[in-house]
Amino acid sequence: MKKNNFFSHETAVIDKECSIGDNTKIWHFSHIMNESIIGKNCNIGQNVVISPKVIIGNNVKIQNNVSVYTGVKCEDDVFLGPSMVFTNVINPRSAIIRRSEFMETLVKKGASIGANATIICGNSIGKYAFIGAGSVVTKDVLDYALVVGNPAKQIGWISEFGNRLNFNSKAIAICPESNENYMLFENRVKKIEK
């Protein structure tokens, strides 16, 4: 295990050969398993499990009671809400070992997943997407998409600051908090860089 300047509560378990970035905090009863990588400035809440070979970027917030299973990768600035769920096998059975069938799930930069949401394996969550609490994601989610429900359906677009975007007749929206401009073109949203 690479020893950096991070905090871990005395009840946390950190297996060998993990990499944990500076200024990361790991709280009560969490378990960081072999060969996982956690970036800088992360906050790992209580009762969190990070399975072997999981990759967590910088500045990721993982709330209480989340298990991040092998096959999941979270890029920088991701938020995982309390008790949200990742799966890693499509058809699990107790008596059948399917470790060779783990599917990958990618959560891209800045995405937020609400409390008690479920992400079915093999899907990607787009940059800055927002998954509403309790949603069940069964397919890929676009960058900046706002999705809710079971199964999750897109109901709009959201800014990098987490505000709903309302596009005008020229397909331009302004985030009410940051004043950043966004453009909608062919069902894709991009931030307009100044």
Tell me the C-alpha distance between 188 and 186, whole Å. 6
The verdict on residue 153 lying in a domain is yes
Starting at the edge strand that comes first in sequence, how are the strands of the sheet with 67-68 ordered?
13-14, 31-32, 49-50, 67-68, 85-86, 118-119, 136-137
Average pLDDT over residues 20-33: 97
CB 87 within 8 Å of CB 121: yes
> What's the pLDDT score for residue 194?
78
The verdict on residue 17 lying in a domain is yes
- pLDDT cut 70: percent of the chain above it: 98
Tell me the C-alpha distance between 18 and 129, whole Å. 28
The verdict on residue 181 lying in a domain is no
The verdict on residue 59 lying in a domain is yes
pLDDT reading at 55 higher than 80: yes
Buried b (16+ CB within 10 A) or exposed e, 133-162: ebbbbeeebbbbbbbbeeebeeeebbbbee
Tell me the C-alpha distance between 145 and 157, whole Å. 5
pLDDT reading at 3 higher than 80: no
> What's the pLDDT score for residue 191?
97
pLDDT reading at 138 higher than 90: yes
The verdict on residue 16 lying in a domain is yes
Least confident of 2-6, 74-78, 161-165: 2-6
- Number of domain units in the chain: 1
Q: Which tens digits make up the pLDDT trace of 75-133?
A: 999 999 999 999 999 999 999 999 888 999 999 999 999 999 999 999 999 999 999 99
Domain containing 121 equals 7-91+98-165
- CATH number for the domain harbouring residue 142: 2.160.10.10
The verdict on residue 63 lying in a domain is yes
> SS3 for 100?
helix
The verdict on residue 177 lying in a domain is no
